[in-house]
Amino acid sequence: MQGKRVLVTGGAGFIGSNLANALAEDNDVVVVDDEYLGTAENLSDDVEYHEQSVLADDLPTDVDVVFHLAALSSYAMHEENPQRGARVNVEGFVNTVEQARQDGCDTVVYASTSSIYGDRTEPSPESMDVEAQTGYEASKLARERYGEYFHNHYDMTLAGMRFFSVYQGYGGAEGHKGEYANVIAQFADDIAHGRSPELYGDGTQTRDFTHVSDVVRGLELAADHELNGIYNLGTGEPYDFNTVVELINDELGTDVDPTYVENPIPEEIYVHDTCADASKLTEETGWEPQVDFEEGIERVCDVYQ
């Protein structure tokens, strides 16, 4: 993407800041973030920054493309305040897209979630039946339905991206997330400092870990191709938590054993395994992950070497 004026909501957060900084090399980038979980320190100097909620009525939506990533982005955040979760994740989405529409923008790429697939060791295609087990999942499914509405009623193009387990490490833009950071970032930081990482259950749960640089490329391609509908964004190669700990130890030259603890998340809603079928995105844009898992672990651990 080149020469566009672009809005990134949630743009001071982890994925948003990586996207905003990458886009700013060739585009005029505006970021909105309420700093609930983001920090302006993540952004490069050539990004125009507004500390603002997506619920505001004067958003800078006079742009060519909107990347809507602002959200309360976990089960725990939602359960603390379900009403606020719905306002930010659903009303904030509708508010942003409607203001963009009124300003003449008809291309939106937005964050959905893969957690709606539930437990899946087989790759999950977008055509699967899905249901909401949590308020967080309900809010993301509501976004997808509103995306259909804006497309069908106003002929806008809206690509909902179902992210899998996105990571970068504390040396990137995940540092501010703390307990909400990806487990790879948390495990690496623990092991590097001689702390035993805590694994829920027996550590056999798996995630489709996707490096943030691959996610950023997927988001850009979705906008460039003016995709409409729902797309998975993941590698299709899951790894279990025990293996993550082993690989981090190997990379750091350490020998820190994990501690196994009881899972605090109720079993009926805990997603034990995830795996993406990203063939739809690949077929329509040519996207493929470029950072394999071993290289990703190296990048996470670089900051500690």
Mean pLDDT per 10-residue segment, the chain (305 residues)? 95 96 97 92 96 97 98 81 92 98 98 92 95 92 97 98 94 76 93 96 96 98 98 97 97 96 85 95 98 96 93
Specify the CATH architecture of the domain 169-206+238-275+289-302: Alpha-Beta Complex (3.90)
Measure Cα distances from 144 to 80, 192, 219, 231 in Å.
Answer: 23, 40, 16, 11
Give residues with Cβ within 8 angstroms of 56, minimum separation 6: 95
Strand pairing report for 239-240 and 206-207: antiparallel
Q: What pLDDT, on the 0 to 100 scale, is given for residue 1?
A: 85
Cα torsion for 235, 300, 224, 280, to the nearest 10°? 10
CB atoms < 10 A from the CB of 58, how many?
Answer: 8
Q: What pLDDT, on the 0 to 100 scale, is given for residue 150?
A: 98
Fold topology of 5-166+211-234: Rossmann fold (3.40.50)
Phi, psi of 283 (to 5 degrees): -65, -35
Report the C-alpha gap between 234 and 247 in whole angstroms: 20
Report the C-alpha gap between 302 and 27 in whole angstroms: 29
- Reference 183, options 168, 171, 162, 161; nearest CA is 168
169-206+238-275+289-302 matches 5-166+211-234 in CATH topology: no
Q: What pLDDT, on the 0 to 100 scale, is given for residue 286?
A: 98
Q: Where are the domains of the chain?
A: 5-166+211-234, 169-206+238-275+289-302
Report the C-alpha gap between 70 and 89 in whole angstroms: 7
Q: What pLDDT, on the 0 to 100 scale, is given for residue 178?
A: 74
Write out pLDDT tens, residues 80-134: 888 999 999 999 999 999 999 999 999 999 999 999 998 889 999 999 999 998 8
3-state secondary structure the chain: CCCCEEEEECCCCHHHHHHHHHHCCCCEEEEEECCCCCCHHHCCCCCEEEECCCCCCCCCCCCCEEEECCCCCCHHHHHHCHHHHHHHHHHHHHHHHHHHHHCCCCEEEEEEECHHHCCCCCCECCCCCCCCCCHHHHHHHHHHHHHHHHHHHHCCEEEEEEECEEECCCCCCCHHHHHHCCHHHHHHHHHHCCCCCEEECCCCCEECEEEHHHHHHHHHHHHHCCCCEEEEECCCCCEEHHHHHHHHHHHHCCCCCCEEECCCCCCCCCCCECCECCHHHHHHHCCCCCCCHHHHHHHHHHCCC
Q: What pLDDT, on the 0 to 100 scale, is given for residue 3?
A: 93
Q: What pLDDT, on the 0 to 100 scale, is given for residue 67?
A: 98
Phi, psi of 183 (to 5 degrees): -60, -30
Q: What pLDDT, on the 0 to 100 scale, is given for residue 223?
A: 98
Contact, 294 vs 184, CB < 8 A? no
